[in-house]
Amino acid sequence: MHHRKSQTQTVAAAKAGISERSARRIDQQLHQPQKRERNWRTRKDPLAEVWDSIVLPLLES
């Protein structure tokens, strides 16, 4: 929120596109972004069918 240096918190929050409450939390260092890793696959593994029979022997040799 670089607008906060020259504007009021209300104006800076509006320019940044966030609520005043979120702006207050960010200013007070209470904002904690989500840093959790997902534990599910987003797509099917394309090598799953051939990994053990073709790819693994190639990697081991």
> What does the pLDDT look like over 15-27, one tens digit per residue?
889 898 888 888 8
Give the residue with greater pLDDT, 28 vs 2: 28
Task: Give the global pTM.
Answer: 0.41
pLDDT reported for residue 2: 61
Q: Give me the mean pLDDT over the 29-36 stretch.
A: 73
Q: Where are the alpha helices (DSSP H) in 1-61?
A: 9-16, 20-27, 56-60
Give the residue with greater pLDDT, 25 vs 34: 25
**Position of tokens 């959790």?**
36
Cα–Cα distance between 15 and 27 in angstroms, integer? 15
Domain positions in the chain are 1-31
Tokens of 47: 């090598």
Q: Give me the mean pLDDT over the 7-36 stretch.
A: 82
